[in-house]
Structure 1
């Protein structure tokens, strides 16, 4: 699946580059806007929204699997899933872009916050980090590393690179390159997160069937789960 998703991103990127090269800084037509990674209601935005929405639905499923295998209330999976679904809706309808301009009407913001929706984004992100990072670090190491890397890629693109690109809105070439890098980072983070979630789903499903040692499976990578029969010689 990873190769298919990466292939889709490559096709979208090539189409975007061709579109940008042909249109330049002129007014794009209807078809050109569909392939513009920086535009709304295009194929790239739809693909990203689909990725994020799928991540959210998988998180909801992992919550029930995790509860079945380990017991307890794993509400953080629901929180992560809800955040993914919100990100999908935001990507599809560009909610954060439409919220831009509101904070600057209330506060005298510095120049680097030209994209002033970031003011709204930082407090929730810090709160989510405080709630989720300690929990993620308690998950199996292979899972926590990939989840954190996916978060760094996505948030780094959505907030970090977009904040930088906002400084060059008057310079078409620089802004276009920066905005394209932003979208690619978001897609990379979403793909890594989705593949990681699906692999963890496989691990939990294996543990829930009783075909493998519970603790060994949860702590191993999905490629090399420890089977009961491989744990050692049978005791008579």
Structure 2
């Protein structure tokens, strides 16, 4: 029976994150040296939608969603009520993966900022509805959280805190900085976002945001796999901690 060593998989995932991050940093140094974006620097840039970092993040989220689906199926086979909670987690992760790959949240930014005249930390308007969605999703996950073993729960909390802190927390900081650079009276649609994203401080914030997001995804995937290995057992594939 094939086996997956979760520790080795996690280390491999972290190496991949490190390589992607170093490639992004190299792309920013290349941009600063040349004074313009090249096709190579774009494909390695965290800020670009169609880039290697975006593919890596999306793949990690889909992997976590797939493992959550396996847990839901195992819970269903065992007749456990928590299968619905894991099914919900699967759906949430699939949505986040789709959102990451299609940049759905970015497409909401201009309409929301124009409609509500958001500014400051909410200048990038998509964060407002996503904070509301986060609260609702968190409340819906509470029944599942109460059923989880404590070690699994804390692993998931760690990963989730890092992801939310990066995806929303860092985005709020970037939003405030972007609004300050654009000017208090400048609508987001009229701001030169591409130029502002190339400012050194903004590049640093974006790098930290995306790096921590990818690390959080790796930790979440590890937590799910360890839950299968340590708490549930598996069927066709044997997992080792």
Note if 1:14 corresponds to 2:8.
Answer: no
When structure 1 is superposed on structure 2, of 48-57 and 87-96 the one drifting more is 87-96
Structure 1 residue ranges, 4+ long, deviating more than 3 angstroms after superposition:
none
Match of 2:191 in 1: none
Preserved contact between residue 112 and residue 167 of structure 1 (Cα < 8 Å)? yes
Superposition TM-score, scaled by structure 2 size: 0.81
Residues 1-236 of structure 1 correspond to what in structure 2 (within 5 A)? 1-24=9-32, 26-69=35-78, 71-72=80-81, 74-169=83-178, 170=181, 172-206=199-233, 223=241
Superposition TM-score, scaled by structure 1 size: 0.83
Q: Which ranges in structure 2 are unaligned for 5 or more consecutive residues?
A: 1-8, 182-195
Q: Deviations over 1:136-172 (max 9, x none)?
A: 1431011000111111111111111011012233451
Distance 2:222 2:30 in 1: 35
Distance 1:74 1:84 in 2: 15
Measured on the aligned residues, the alpha-carbon RMSD in Å equals 2.1
Preserved contact between residue 104 and residue 116 of structure 1 (Cα < 8 Å)? yes
The structure whose RCO (Cα within 8 Å, separation 6+) is larger is 2
Q: Deviations over 1:68-99 (max 9, x none)?
A: 33533521111111111111111112111111
Q: 1:67 to 1:182 in 2, by over 3 A?
A: same
Match of 1:232 in 2: none
When structure 1 is superposed on structure 2, of 46-55 and 33-42 the one drifting more is 33-42
Q: Deviations over 1:2-56 (max 9, x none)?
A: 1111111111111111111121294311111111122111111100000001111
| Number of equivalences | 211
TM-superposed CA distance for 1:67, in Å, is: 2.7
Distance 1:126 1:12 in 2: 31
Match of 1:231 in 2: none
Q: Deviations over 1:169-205 (max 9, x none)?
A: 3451111100111101111110000011111122355
Preserved contact between residue 150 and residue 190 of structure 1 (Cα < 8 Å)? yes
Preserved contact between residue 146 and residue 196 of structure 1 (Cα < 8 Å)? yes
